Structure 1
Amino acid sequence: GIIYRDLKPENIMLNSQGHIKLTDFGLCKESIHDGAVTHTFCGTIEYMAPEILVRSGHNRAVDWWSLGALMYDMLTGSPPFTAENRKKTIDKILKGKLVLPPYLTPDARDLLKKFLKRNPNQRVGGGPGDAADVQKQPFFRHINWEDLLARRLDPPFKPCLQSEEDVSQFDTRFTRQTPVDSPDDAAISESANQAFLGFTYVAPSVLESIKEGFSFQPKVRSPRRLNSSPRTPVRYPGGGSALGWGNQGGYRGGKRGWGIQA
């Protein structure tokens, strides 16, 4: 019943043995079981599913879209839908054609198309079979899933570490910083709250215009789009109160900046 909602390269790390670890669960949502949906507008634009952008209600299918965007990124060097600013990126996600480079294998092309279906009901993994439907795809036919989950497979890359405290694999601009404890969420002063008033507000009319302009069926009229910069994590209030900081300017959700955590 947990959806992650922030799958992207920055949130995928390796442990000392080279096995994958997901980090930053600040945008995850619990108790989203069959039939349940949530409406919070959050994530990193380039990896966000269409149903999050139009706030039509979303479930675990959004993570399979994000996995498709991540897979495309890892195979080609960039996410499938990008542009010079956020509103054009959103427009591409909602209406743009998926362009697959000719060097991709047939199995990779097939899986990417299935992950990046705009209709979540048609997306692989979005049905009752969930992950089992994904595991059966031809792209993964050489994977022994039991061995993978038990970490019996040799990772393709194992970090060379001198000890458990070795941080040489991290950029020195981070390791040279003086550690600072995060503030207690319950103890944020009124003056601190005042400093952030208005930063995450988006006029309902803007969000509604996007929702009205998008459908899983083609429409002639284009949606109005949001003004902003590309590759920026965003989060708009869906409840909750915790303020948090990222590391490169934007909104809570991973790579850049601050926002509001529901």
Structure 2
Amino acid sequence: MTKKRTLQIEKVNTHIVEWLKSYATNSKVNGFVIGISGGVDSAVTSTLCAQTGLQVLCVEMPIHQAPSQVSRGREHIEQLKNRFPNVTSAVADLTTVFETFKKEVPTTDNEHALHLSLANTRARLRMTTLYYFAGIHGLLVAGTGNKVEDFGVGFYTKYGDGGVDLSPIADLMKSEVYQLGEYLNIPKSILTAAPTDGLFGDSRTDEDQIGASYDELEWAMLLTDEEIANTTFTEREKEVIIIFKRLNSNNQHKMNPIPVCIINC
């Protein structure tokens, strides 16, 4: 089977920080703004940005958020501000905005479509908020998506958390993000918490939504077509491969450039 790569964590950390610094300098901006969710991806991304020495604004954007997610996010922000003088924070409680939006749009009897559309609306309200802060402070919006989410199963909201200026950790598998998080001394409460997008206002995790863990998805993502054709898999492994292939196929519209109708007639 294809093996996971072995990261030289210190070199990876330095490489990403220098990449961030170079990109921001060439873009003639003051630094970065990051939405803090209480999850490992945003914690790692914000810590990488903080190491550039440039301005870093961490923004909390609760929408009926679970207290555990809020507390983890705040623990990380306070730790980061204590470690790096260039880090500041802001809170934009979007709950009222979200509720107002719901009152102004029609509903539907399709419960699944309704809940999914509202979940994506939360992510898009947050994207809009981050770009507001970016605009008034001259910052870039730093994305927090990892490689499994962004290029494996497309587990993000198009023009929501997928709407960013640059993606520092999008070439790292989820397990690699955790490795980097440990190296960066991310709070244990974040490193041990079950990953969740927090978009549904309940306790469902990413694994609940996807049907497979990130470790399983990474395993499937690394399989070659030859390995799939010539290997005997367990029933669970077969199920994971099906889940991965289905999501990867269905979400290509997120991963590929927007199709343009070329006029040549």
Q: TM-score range by the shorter chain?
A: under 0.3
Q: How high is the TM-score relative to the length of structure 2?
A: 0.23
